[in-house]
Amino acid sequence: MNILDRLWLIIFIILAIPLVYYRGLFKKVVLKTDSWTAFFKPSSVKDFKAFFGNMYPDNENYLKSRNLYRLYTTLFVILLAFFIFLNIHKNMNKIEIGSNVPGFTLPDQNGNLFDITTVLGKKNLVIYFYPKDDTPGCTKEACYFRDQFEVFKEEDAMIIGISGQSVESHKEFATKYKLNYTLLSDEGNEIRKLFGVPTNFLGLLPGRVTYIVDKKGKVIYTFNSQTQATKHVDEALRILKELK
């Protein structure tokens, strides 16, 4: 998760704390109870009337909790809408089917600089972005790509894995599982952002997306799934075999 994603998460948490607190106070007044369990009761018609109207004009606790609940709800909705707008705008320029793969250079697991332009247009490419080295889903995916390496080679395809960990982390990961293909270190997630790879859970979890690139340097297929890690390999092989 990059600095901007962390900042968004912190802002949402900071805003959610008073929102939750004043919702609880509001619900207690409306339901006429002193129990904080009122917070967990689902909203009703009465709640909406109390929120948008003026149900108890002489009750100071009601007026204060309602007004502050309105304020923080409004701020939260505006912030959420702005967050969604920024992500939609960001994704407008993302790499998708039909896009040309942009040039970029990153260090591989051995610390050598790898320039994507040296293989673009010469080989089919399977570029897969994954969240993190040596985690359960990423390990399954990486090892399955390893096990199918010769099959990809028969399709004249090069496998390239990209994530935000360091060269040292990639080296340990590749050595531990005997990975026989290129892993690139995208510290700062600049290439991930260049491709427009989405994140999940308000930026907490980097996305898992695979791009299939033909020998013209164009993306012909993408597969996006956080949970179906090994299916990235099956889908890549399926598409490459259809190229023949």
Task: Report which of 192, 144, 142, 141 is spatially closest to residue 164, judged by C-alpha positions.
Answer: 192
142 in Cβ contact with 111 (< 8 Å): no
Q: Which residues have CB under 8 Å from 147's CB, separation 6+?
A: none
What distances in angstroms separate CA 107 from CA 5, 166, 167, one per listed residue?
24, 9, 7
In the three-class reduction of DSSP (H, G, I as helix; E, B as strand; rest coil), residue 159 is classed as strand
Task: Reply yes or no on whether 143 is catalytic.
Answer: no
Coarse DSSP helix, strand, coil percentages of the chain, rounded to the nearest 5 percent: 50, 15, 35
How far is Cα 189 from Cα 206, in angstroms, rounded to an integer?
Answer: 9
For 206: left if phi > 0, alpha if psi spans -120 to 50, otherwise beta; the answer is beta
196 in Cβ contact with 95 (< 8 Å): yes
Q: Which of 29, 138, 184, 219 is catalytic?
A: 138
234 in Cβ contact with 149 (< 8 Å): no
164 in Cβ contact with 188 (< 8 Å): yes
How far is Cα 35 from Cα 33, in angstroms, rounded to an integer?
Answer: 6
Residues assigned a catalytic role: 138
